[in-house]
């Protein structure tokens, strides 16, 4: 763990809106960085669970980003990872008890995965790569953006699985009564397949965009 992580090249002041947006699309934690996959696949068998998990993770992420960033001058380098993990674990304990108080059903559906937010690698990743080198306000927006990116990724996986697997969305029936859901979508393999599908789709979009960007200067040249 000795090798120092190089400071973020974006150390220059960046508009806060950009800090927010990069997490949503360009550096989306789930689809682009492929981090924090375990909860993304495990609890996304319905849109409701996915949303709850997304919000819980976002809260922990924002809180731990702010805490790490405000303590960054006091944390000794050698024990920083342990400190981050302990900070994250404290917030997760709070969320765990909070969800238990709000809805016991939800707590049962999410099961151990609430506690497992602690080891969601992209939260630790943000603490190490961003919050430990940036101020409190940018860290807050970074956390918010990454959280939002995680939320929509989870929601899009959860929605597809719920629609195809049980024919409902947020528990509302979408099709006629005789609809037979594809059980495979509710099984673990469905999670893998759905995620693969989304990654493929996003890859295709990204490829088209970069091709168009590469073609644009040539087209301008031709017009001249």
Partner 1 sequence: MSPEPLWTVFVNAALVNNFVLALFLGLCPFLGVSGRLETAIRMGTAVTFVMIVSSAAALGIDRLLIALDATYLRLIAFIAVIASTVQLVEMFIKKVSPVLFRALGIYLPLITTNCAILALVLFQTTKGYGLVQSLVYALGAGTGFTLALVLMASLRERLELAALPDLTRGTALALTLAGLLSMAFMGFGGLGG
For 184-187, the CB contacts below 8 A with 24+ separation are: 185/45, 185/160, 185/161, 186/45, 186/161
Residue 135 touching partner 1 (CB under 8 A): no
Cα 203 from Cα 201, distance rounded (Å): 5
Residue 60 touching partner 1 (CB under 8 A): no
Cα 160 from Cα 73, distance rounded (Å): 44
Contact 141, 149 (CB under 8 A): no
- DSSP letter at 180 equals -
Residue 124 touching partner 1 (CB under 8 A): yes
Stretch that binds partner 1, among 59-67, 86-94, 131-139, 171-179 (CB under 8 A): 86-94
Q: CA end-to-end span of the chain, whole Å?
A: 55
CB atoms within 10 A of CB 155: 17
Site map (CB under 8 A) of partner 1, residues 90-109, x = contact: x-xx--xx------------
- DSSP letter at 130 equals I
Nearer to partner 1 by C-beta: 204 or 216?
A: 204
Q: How far is the CB of 53 from partner 1 (least distance, A)?
A: 12
DSSP H helical ranges for the chain: 16-24, 37-42, 47-70, 80-102, 104-110, 121-126, 136-166, 188-223
Stretch that binds partner 1, among 10-18, 147-155, 159-167, 203-211 (CB under 8 A): 203-211
The correct pick among 121, 137, 215, 216 for binding partner 1 (CB under 8 A) is 121
Q: How far is the CB of 205 from partner 1 (least distance, A)?
A: 11
Residue 12 touching partner 1 (CB under 8 A): no
By the criterion CB under 8 A, which residues form the site for partner 1? 1, 34-39, 41-42, 81-82, 85-86, 89-90, 92-93, 96-97, 112, 115-116, 118-121, 124, 184, 187-193, 195-196, 199-200, 203-204, 207
């Amino acid at each position: 763990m000795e090798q120092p992580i190089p400071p973020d090249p974006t150390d220059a002041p960046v508009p806060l809106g950009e800090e927010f947006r990069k997490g949503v699309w360009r550096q989306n934690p789930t689809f682009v960085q492929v981090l924090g996959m375990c909860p993304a696949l495990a609890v996304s068998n319905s849109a409701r669970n996915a949303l709850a998990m997304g919000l819980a993770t976002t809260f922990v992420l924002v809180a731990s980003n702010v805490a790490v960033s405000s303590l960054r001058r006091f944390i000794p380098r050698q024990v920083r990872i342990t400190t981050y993990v302990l900070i994250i674990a404290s917030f997760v304990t709070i969320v765990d008890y909070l969800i238990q108080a709000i809805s016991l059903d939800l707590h049962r559906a999410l099961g151990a995965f609430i506690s497992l937010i602690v080891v969601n690698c992209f939260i630790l990743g943000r603490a190490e790569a961003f919050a430990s080198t940036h101020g409190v306000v940018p860290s807050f927006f970074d956390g918010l953006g990454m959280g939002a990116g995680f939320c929509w990724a989870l929601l899009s996986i959860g929605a597809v699985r719920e629609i195809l697997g049980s024919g409902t969305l947020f528990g509302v029936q979408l099709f006629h009564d005789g609809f037979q859901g594809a059980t495979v979508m509710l099984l673990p393999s469905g999670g893998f397949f759905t995620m693969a599908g989304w990654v493929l789709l996003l890859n295709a979009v990204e490829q088209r965009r970069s091709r168009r960007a590469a073609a644009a200067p040539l087209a301008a040249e031709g017009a001249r």
